Structure 1
């Protein structure tokens, strides 16, 4: 790559960190940068982030850092992804009215889900949206906002999400991708791929659909960098900006999971699943949504607390060590313990659980604890608990006849192979990986190239170099096959207790 050759800028705002990357049109990495940040939990079940301080603030810092020593004229396209679906109300000037309300880990709208299912008919909502109302759905969170913060609601002029807010700050246009739009249910019609009047009043009352952004595909051009955004970021005004998407879909693109039958498993703060399909297979346990590219559909699912669980354990059980060393120590200790963690079993539901049980009142449970168990056993049990949860989701996909041809792993949890091996042993499924595993920001760079008109969809495969797959150990699988029914029973038998405790 020559010094003046064109580059693509990808930005991803995650739950606990933001990442940016400059990539050549040929897929080679020019520069990358990461910023850590936090979430806010102002009340039980409420999970938020500041849109300007975290989302837009991190984006500006990433861009300026990546452009150090790089002529902005070399950047021919920009794309952003972010945690999602999130809810952010904006006033008439486009300024945030409150912190953004996060995706399915925020469970505040349980009463609104119950009320909408009762008033509208649970079956009718599912038939309209191809999904059931869960904590992932934005419609009930909009209703929560209307009911609990009426003064703020009266000032709201736009309802947007994290990736769309970044695009707005860069281009001045409010636009949302179809994958995210589907989660704004029941306001989105997956058949027409437009906002729908059918259940508008149940969500927006007397307000209109003009509160919502335009809809487009992730790789379409949203607009160009404005003079104001250029002054704040250092980008050249007029640079094309893609519509972008949620982080999970960008992660899928980053490892080439774009063909029918490709299933991406994202090991992040939460575990997310994206299966590319030729036609939707709706089921109340999971989510049927739009894909990245025109006409595509995805079957998606997501767990509530996975990487967040390992982070919590590192923070609480290895406080004497810096974060990186804490992870290294805990994974090393877990690797020395046999499958089954010497009789420990953990439900990883510390933030409730999303798919396939969709229970915001679920809680973490540790069963079988004795005085002989160590923190290494607890960490092993946590990794195995997530693995059992992944198996539960894969079984839900299989039950509804979804065609999975290959599984591709990506995300921070793929570093090292301990966790991946545990999951392959539990599920009996081989997991492919890519040599470049930067995650969503790398997928964003490809979307930037699409929006700029310098890349065709089929060129993504030139960017992806496969790594050695993780193959199941069948002896370990036999152990896990005996434990998996106990894992499923543990939730059933403790549900009433943890539901009472969650109050």
Structure 2
């Protein structure tokens, strides 16, 4: 059987997916791994553990299918950083995208002219997640490790070096480092100077269709980042289509033929291939906010029935939660506010509100946060007419209806799982000429949820208050955060 393997190297697991030449997945193998948090704000992983998971996933997938694939292509989580020596051996644990130790560095950069110029050139938001900020932190806080480092690389570069003994970085992963000029496709001098490094400490940038061959003769395409691959795997590379994913966190992304910088909202512009940028923004508080709300009202471990009961309660409440609003910034937030000191807020609570109103307000608040990103993206892009949606949200029809109503867009359920790995497989097929163009994944039998525009009118009025509420409370949030931080 002719097939390709897309491998997604995620934050919690590696997943290998077999995809036939029509773009349909038919098998998957997954290997999990752990993370460590040795100090508050730190989030680290062992790159060797991830390499082992990669090998096992790839080998098991081949054994499961029974013959060698036509190609393999890699998708990877963004913003990781590993200091390595000249042999590619890790000198310290990998710092993941979730690590927040360089938050103050990012905050200062966002407030500076040089920082904004770097953002516009690189397309990477100035945030603790970016390798630029991580490298500056290492330079300032661990000078010995900084001095001993031969290369600063990502987890995909680590795996690529293990496979082929060369330091290469694809344009997609490079474009989310904060160190790479996305227009000239070279390392950005001002960003390098800010980090205190030369380009010799970074891998050689190559296109996302760059490939090498394993000893077995199977070609391996270097691929792109998981967010870019998810758009490809979800059918989100055409004009007028946005891709929304809500899992623990959330993201909104569209395809563009050029970067779409937005200094105020600091949306990202990452490279998929030579013709395509994937532009958008991430939020911190997706399913994690819903999980927090459920746990706060439960005395036991959560089960699927708890979610089902909540969604049933929400469906009985009218749009707008009877004037109750929720700011979902329980862990601060990224786009478009970029505020790590923000907090969650219920506003407008009255005696008439019961648990169902609060539950619906939580779902609406998460959707407002996603819509806030979408509005920022549309400021510089063609209007979005359709949203392809995936992640945990697809398990709830009422939650998807709320998203359709708040955005006023058609919501289409696409690939509910494996979108990044499927996208990697499609990129491999196009690179090898197995397909001429990416297939149209938006088949007519996919479920579409239409907006109820009477609800949309209510939500648009409430969204204005949602935005004003954060603006009015921002300084107070920061004051309260700092007061409690000093007390701790």
Measured after TM superposition, the shift of residue 385 of structure 1 is: 0.9
Question: 1:487 and 2:466 equivalent?
Answer: yes
The list of structure 1 runs, each at least 4 consecutive aligned residues, that deviate by more than 6 angstroms after superposition, is: none
User: Cα distance 1:433–1:158, how it changes in 2: closer, same or farther (>3 A)?
Assistant: same
- The 5-angstrom pairing of residues 152-301 of structure 1 reads 152-185=145-178, 187-203=179-195, 205=196, 207-218=197-208, 220-225=209-214, 237-284=216-263, 285-301=265-281
TM score, norm. by length of structure 1: 0.85
RMSD: 2.9
1:478/1:198 CA distance change after superposition, 3 Å = closer
Structure 1 distance, partners of 2:143, 2:4, is 42
Shift in Å at residue 198 of structure 1? 3.1
Q: Aligned-pair distance for 1:258?
A: 1.7
Alpha-carbon distance between aligned partners in 2 of 1:282 and 1:39, rounded to the nearest angstrom: 33
Q: Deviations over 1:354-407 (max 9, x none)?
A: 111122222222334567766654443222111111221122123335443532
For 1:425 and 1:259, locate their aligned partners in 2 and report how far apart those are by CA, in whole Å: 22
Residues 263 and 273 of structure 1 are in contact (CA less than 8 Å); yes or no, is this contact kept in structure 2?
yes
Offset at 1:144? 0.7
2:76 corresponds in structure 1 to 82
Q: Distance in 1 between matches of 2:378 and 2:24?
A: 36
* Contact residue 173 and residue 223 of structure 1 kept, 8 A: no
TM superposition shift of 1:471: 1.0
CA distance in 2, matches of 1:395, 1:302: 13
* Match for residue 408 of structure 2 among 407, 428, 438: 428
Contact 1:217 1:292 in 2 (8 A): no
SS in 2 for 1:339: coil
Structure 2 residue matching 1:291: 3-state secondary structure: strand
Distance in 2 between residues matched to 1:288 and 1:196, nearest whole Å? 16
CA distance in 2, matches of 1:146, 1:172: 27
Give the equivalent residue in structure 2 for 1:23. 19
Q: Which ranges in structure 2 are unaligned for 5 or more consecutive residues?
A: 483-488
Which position in structure 1 is the counterpart of 2:481? 502
- How many aligned positions are there? 481
| TM-score (structure 2 length as normaliser) | 0.88
Measured at CA, do residues 125 and 476 of structure 1 come closer, stay the same or move farther in structure 2, by a change above 3 Å? same
Structure 1: any 5+ residue segments left out of the alignment? 227-236
Task: Tell me: CA distance 1:242–1:307, structure 2 relative to 1, closer, same or farther (3 Å).
Answer: farther
> 2:88 aligns to what?
94
Offset at 1:37?
A: 5.4
Deviations 1:222-277 (A, max 9, x none): 32336xxxxxxxxxx33222212222111101122122343222223322122112
The answer to whether the aligner puts 1:449 opposite 2:449 as a matched pair is no
How many angstroms does 1:342 deviate by? 4.3
Q: Distance in 1 between matches of 2:428 and 2:273?
A: 13
Pair 433,47 (structure 1): closer, same or farther in 2 beyond 3 Å: same
Q: Provide the rounded CA distance (Å) in 1 between the counterparts of 2:332 and 2:293.
A: 17
Alpha carbons of 1:113 and 1:273: their partners in 2 closer, same or farther (altered >3 Å)? same
Stretch moving more, 112-121 or 139-148: 112-121
Query: Per-residue CA shift, 1:169-221, capped at 9, x if unaligned?
Result: 34333332323322222x21122111132332220x2x421221222333x13
Residues 56 and 419 of structure 1: is their aligned pair in 2 closer, same or farther, counting only changes over 3 Å? farther
Give yes or no for contact 1:167–1:241 (8 Å, CA) kept in 2.
no
CA distance in 1, matches of 2:469, 2:433: 52
The CA distance in 2 between the partners of 1:114 and 1:322, in whole Å, is: 36
Residue pair 2:106, 2:127 contacting (<8 A) in 1 also: yes
Native 8 Å contact 1:106 1:135 kept in 2: yes
Question: Distance between the aligned counterparts of 2:480 and 2:396, measured in 1?
Answer: 36
- Once residues 135 and 487 of structure 1 are traced to their aligned partners in structure 2, the CA distance between those partners, rounded to angstroms, is 26
